[in-house]
Amino acid sequence: MNVMPEPVAVPSEGAGHAMFQDVPSSVGFNKLRKRLVRQTREAIEQFAMVNPGDRWLVALSGGKDSYGLLAILLDLKWRGLLPVDLLACNLDQGQPNFPKHILPEFLTRHGVVHRIEYRDTYSVVTDTIAEGKTYCSLCSRLRRGNLYRIAREEGCSSLVLGHHREDILETFFMNLFHGGRLAAMPPKLLNDEGDLLVLRPLSFCAEADLEKFAEAMRFPIIPCDLCGSQDGLQRNAMKAMLADIEARMPGRKDTMMRALANARPSHLLDRTLFDFTGLAAGGQLNR
């Protein structure tokens, strides 16, 4: 069992990796930073993500979540809590008007080891999917395949993604309502080929906290002009539903996350997970 190192003493919450040199000194930001670091560390520990000495490929899209992921992982490394090497990677997918200079300049300025890869998956997606249809599924598959390739080329053991609590819950309800199955995004997953792990260290972090964090850190956000411009996506509907539930019953998102970690196969209907055939009154098994 892998055990994360104990915390090291830090001079102040404003100190740390170069990315944190000009952060706000307010109590509110320090609390936010501590909470995100703590929740990320909990996910890493609970799902045994770390094998000391490994190399992680950290996917960086230019959105708030991937920026936050990179910053928090760098913060953990600075604190002596993450004994792995990090390689930030942006896959430029050839989307129109993509500002190619922003990420290289940002990463170089903060001394972050990185790789920028160009692959025109945009043309593949737009040529394959009819106009007005959802691009996300194919775009995601093409992006993931390229990131797997890059991880192998760079000698990385894991691909690290910036999915957060809301992403997990939205995926669960999309599968429930549209896929007819109980499934979400696991914090740790082995790819189909069995040679790479997919890690989601932000699984316990709230999207609202990552939004506040990105604003305070002044990340140069790059919007997605491909799928972000399409209306009526199923995920948007799930996001709105969850926001409405949380507004009417605060704390329900955390309760839902606990439920995903507290499955009772004998109280569901999946006969492959529980032997209903062998269940009989009096503790006797039917044979």
pLDDT in tens, 169-221: 999 999 999 999 999 999 999 999 999 999 999 999 999 999 999 999 999 99
pLDDT in tens, 108-150: 999 999 999 987 777 777 767 777 666 677 777 788 888 999 9
Record: fold of 20-167+186-224: Rossmann fold (3.40.50)
Domain assignments of the chain as residue spans, ordered by start: 20-167+186-224
Q: Is 4 left (phi over 0), alpha (psi -120 to 50) or beta?
A: beta
Q: Which pLDDT score is estimated for 231?
A: 42
pLDDT in tens, 19-41: 998 899 999 999 999 999 999 99
Mean pLDDT of 256-262: 97
Give the bridge partners for 277, in sequence order: none
% of the chain surpassing 90 pLDDT: 70
